Amino acid sequence: MDPIIEAALAGLSPSSKRKYRPVFASFLDLVSLEEAKPIHIRLWASRREFRVNRRTLKQQLYMLSRLFRIAGREDLSEEARALAKEIRSPPPLPKVNEDLLRTYEEIDRILSGARPLQRAAIMMLAETGMRVGELVSLRWEDVDLNGKRARVRGKGDKGRYVYFTERTAQLLRELPREGDRVFPVTDRTVRRWVSKLLDTHPHAVRHAFAVWFLSKGGNPRVLQRILGHSSLRTTEIYLDLAQSLVEREYRKVAGGG
């Protein structure tokens, strides 16, 4: 057994030792500690990234850093830590209420017994993907009922357009205009409505809109603009969820297999 590897593994649990011993060995199969240069760490990591996810690779680099430090190779240890910090963990997948997805296209029917203001508010959330704060801040001057679109102010006071259908436009036309705001209620009130009528929360409705849009073939870049995401990466996390939904629908129609 290599004494340096055993020293690096000292104090770890048996399961961790089993996990990291082959990691150390894989690096030493590439190059010896005496001949290793910082570029070898990046070469090792570039090969490794096809076998493990980013989070695991970060952990393995930090463990390699420990090995190098014990071996007296501080230059390699610093390089391993620096590379680990460069690797961004993927954002967590949004939690999408699958019951809401299944009934998404029936939401008009589900809300048929709601009060006009409740129905209009939730339909706007469902059809536009707006944040609840954007909804309650919406003013009549920003709503184009004929064009079926609205200008909203998102995070960082960035303006963007969202779009809705004729059914929501008609709900908005029927609302009484009491002041400048389309929905003169608090975001807490809207959250209560969504909880009561859909058994979920407004951000889940936003997630459901995103997955629905992509599952119908919508362009991720268009969705990015609609949702007001500053980065396409944030929007793309919905793609796997949308693809999963499409596949499940196919299996259901095709009879499994």
Question: What amino acid is encoded at 200 in this protein?
Answer: T
Contacts 24+ apart (CB under 8 A), 11-20: 20/60, 20/63
Active-site pick, 81, 119, 207, 238? 238
Catalytic residue among 155, 188, 196, 252: 155
Name the active-site residue from 40, 153, 203, 248: 203
Give dist(CA 172, CA 124) in Å, integer: 9
- How many whole angstroms separate alpha carbon 116 and alpha carbon 128? 18
Which residues, 6 or more positions from 47, have their beta carbon under 8 angstroms from its beta carbon?
Answer: none
User: Which residue of the set 73, 119, 131, 207 is catalytic?
Assistant: 131
Quick check: is 206 catalytic? yes
* Known catalytic membership, residue 155: yes
How many whole angstroms separate alpha carbon 18 and alpha carbon 9?
9
* Residues designated catalytic: 131, 155, 203, 206, 229, 238
